[in-house]
Amino acid sequence: MDFKLLAKQYKEEAVELLKKLVQINSILDPTTSSEKTPFGKGINDCLEFFLSTAKQDGFDVLNDEGYAGRVTLKGTSNESIAVLGHLDVVPVDTGWTYPPFSAEIFDNKMYGRGTMDDKGPTVASYIAMKILKEQGIKLTKNVELILGTDEETGWRGLAHYKERYSLPEVGFSPDADWPLINGEKGIMRIVLKGLPSREFKLVGGNIFNAVIGKAKAITKVDLCDEFAEYLSTNNLTGEVDFVNDEYIYTLNGVTAHAMVPENGINAGTHLACFLNKYFNHPTLKFINNCIHLDYNMCKLGMKVTHKVMGIITNNVGIMDFNENETKFTFDIRYPVGFDFDFFKEPFTNILNIYGISYEVVEQKEPHYIDSEDFLVKTLYNSYVKYSGDTKNKPKSIGGGTYARVLKHGVAFGMESPNEASLAHMTDECIDLDKLEEAIAIYCDAIYELGK
């Protein structure tokens, strides 16, 4: 079966479906959350539209009370494989060349939040299922495309689904890099709280797993010249406004995925370091002395590396300093071998020096499937067959995908291994020729696993 030719024939349909999905703002929205829309109207609209499309295409569909969806391609047995995608997206910053929910196409690329993480890969997987269905290719196993709605913020949607329906043991998540990800670092999310901040306010970020792209500080002190000097010295941009006898300092950074914080510029920690020069506040000192520009937790004595999974990383994703408390977050991505209990006492002792307490609010253990495993080999062969790339091999990443909820799962595409990641970034986009290629790869992979 020439899946490459079939992918070309279905490319236009895939592009149109992706365009409609990207144009739906599916950021978590508690203001429109309800019993029927647990994560907000936008996410629910996106889920319902996808399921409606699949139903019109003749698939069996299921809506798990707005928490998740399922599209099933029926096989001839009771066994199933899973394809785990998600429809929610991370928030957007300013500075986009094209509006983030316009899905505009320029130079054969579609721009928009979610084009690569994860609507694009999910659409490619769905179109692959549709090709197999419409071409009459019979599979032994069922294929369950499970649509998550809360992957970026807590995985509550998938947890709700797992309580009511069984997950297949084997499958993949079309989320992350080619050729495939057979190792994912553990994820620990921590909320840290310090003493109140009465002389200044500092806010930035709204999600754990993204570098703070813009931060604001409010003071009654005129530091305009000093701020301009800091921006110039650090090759940054920003601005100052004077409103109601207060100075508002805005610092622009560069957002990036929390698994690669070094790829971004954290506006929050930069602004904290600037304020530290002029305000005597222990939390500012902690950020300046122990966190800023130290992505591998060296200054906290928590650096750990693994020969396959790599080095531990940490990102500060949310800051909120006000007259009641100072609060900021850690998003730690750690390899096999990291034992937080071993570091807990010295970590706590350092925090105590600065009057900071902490709470671990989420933790996911590392996930690893051996490179010689049949699933890894099968998917890798499908990738090589249609990409021609034999140089890049399966690898580990700091990101966390739905693959880790499967007993036997990996992440499988579709970011190029030779290009910088666009996930969670300004001007996120997808190359439409790469979308076509991904459809062929997913066709072959699902066929090989399903037969």
What amino acid positions are annotated as catalytic residues? 88, 151
Q: Are 331 and 278 in contact (CB under 8 A)?
A: no
- Under 8 Å CB-to-CB from 368, ≥6 apart: which residues? 182, 183, 184, 308, 309, 336, 396
Phi, psi of 73 (to 5 degrees): -100, 110
Judging by DSSP bridges, how do beta strands 109-111 and 105-106 pair with one another? antiparallel
Beta sheet of 105-106, edge-to-edge order: 105-106, 109-111, 429-431
Label residues 203-216 b or e (16+ Cβ within 10 Å = b).
Answer: bbbbbbbbbbbbbb
d(CA 226, CA 207): 29
Specify the DSSP class assigned to residue 168.
Answer: P
Q: How far is CA 137 from CA 1, 75, 87, 115, in A?
A: 9, 10, 27, 28
Instruction: Give the number of other CB atoms < 10 A from CB of residue 388.
Output: 9
SS3 helix, strand, coil % of the chain, rounded to 5?
35, 25, 40
Judging by DSSP bridges, how do beta strands 408-411 and 310-311 pair with one another? unpaired
Q: Are 177 and 61 in contact (CB under 8 A)?
A: no
Select from 137, 120, 145 the least CA-distant residue to 59: 145
Q: How would DSSP label each residue in 279-332? A: ---HHHHHIIIIITT-TT-TTTT---EETTTEE-EEE---EEE-SS-EEEEEEE
Select from 223, 276, 211 the least CA-distant residue to 250: 223
Helices (H), strands (E): how many in the chain?
10, 23
Q: Are 71 and 51 in contact (CB under 8 A)?
A: yes
